[in-house]
Amino acid sequence: MAIELTKGMGLLFMKVGVHARENLEDIIKRKQQEYDKAGMIFWGYGGNTCHPSKHVQPFVREFKKQGKEVMLVMQEINSNHFAEPKAAEEYSEDGINWQVVPKGIEVLGSRYALVLDRLELEGFDIGLQDMSVAIGPSRGRIASDYIQGHVDKGCFEFDPGSPPLKQNDVKHISLYARLKEPYAVHLK
């Protein structure tokens, strides 16, 4: 494993798969080209679990302020997200002040995007019971209790060895990336 998971680091966990009628393999290829063209990646997503300005930005800033690293780790799943593949034209750090999406970046069918450095394709396993929610009203809740039903992502602190792992709490991570400032943005 090229990344070293260390106690106390921040992990933004996300399930990924088909999105806006595009399979994950094609998304990865397009995102790697996006990095080559723009020097960053906008990884689109939806839902309010990881709202850009209420959750992701404060989460990453707090961990960085403490000198801790934050990584996005992604578990590939079977999904069928068939939303309209409309490309975002503008982005905003705060949802108020908007700018044109940088040349070379294409985000389809998403309300938000994580801002990433190079996307790494490498597999490793992680236990959801080794992570706890790091921000918001569920702070401190074990990830295996938090990631359920429609909740498919979260901002966590890595704390290996906390309660014993159950087999179904082990998730295979197939992609990871470092977040780049401003870490997450709103899209329209």
The total of structural domains in the chain comes to 1
Question: Is 3 inside a domain boundary?
Answer: no
SS3 state of residue 134: coil
Rounded Cα–Cα distance for residues 88 and 85 (Å): 9
Residue 23 lies in a domain: yes
Its sign, for the CA torsion 125, 66, 186, 39, is: negative
Provide CB contacts within 8 A for 104, sequence distance 6+.
34, 37, 38
Task: Give the DSSP letter of residue 97.
Answer: S
> Can you give the pLDDT of all 188 residues of the chain as single tens digits?
578 899 999 999 999 987 767 888 999 999 999 999 999 999 999 888 899 999 999 999 999 999 999 999 999 988 776 667 789 999 999 999 999 999 999 998 899 999 999 999 989 999 999 999 999 999 999 999 999 878 899 999 999 876 666 667 889 999 999 999 999 999 99
Domain range enclosing 127: 10-187
At 9 the pLDDT is 97
Q: Does residue 5 form part of some domain? A: no
65 in a domain, yes or no? yes
CB of 42 closer than 8 Å to CB of 93 = no
Task: Report the pLDDT value the prediction gives residue 167, as an integer from 0 to 100.
Answer: 61
Is residue 48 situated within a structural domain?
yes
* pTM, full prediction: 0.92
pLDDT at 163: 61
C-beta of residue 65 within 8 angstroms of C-beta of residue 131: no
Residue 2 lies inside a defined structural domain of this protein: no
Q: What local confidence, expressed as pLDDT, does residue 166 receive?
A: 64
Q: Which residue intervals of the chain are DSSP H helices?
A: 24-38, 57-65, 143-146
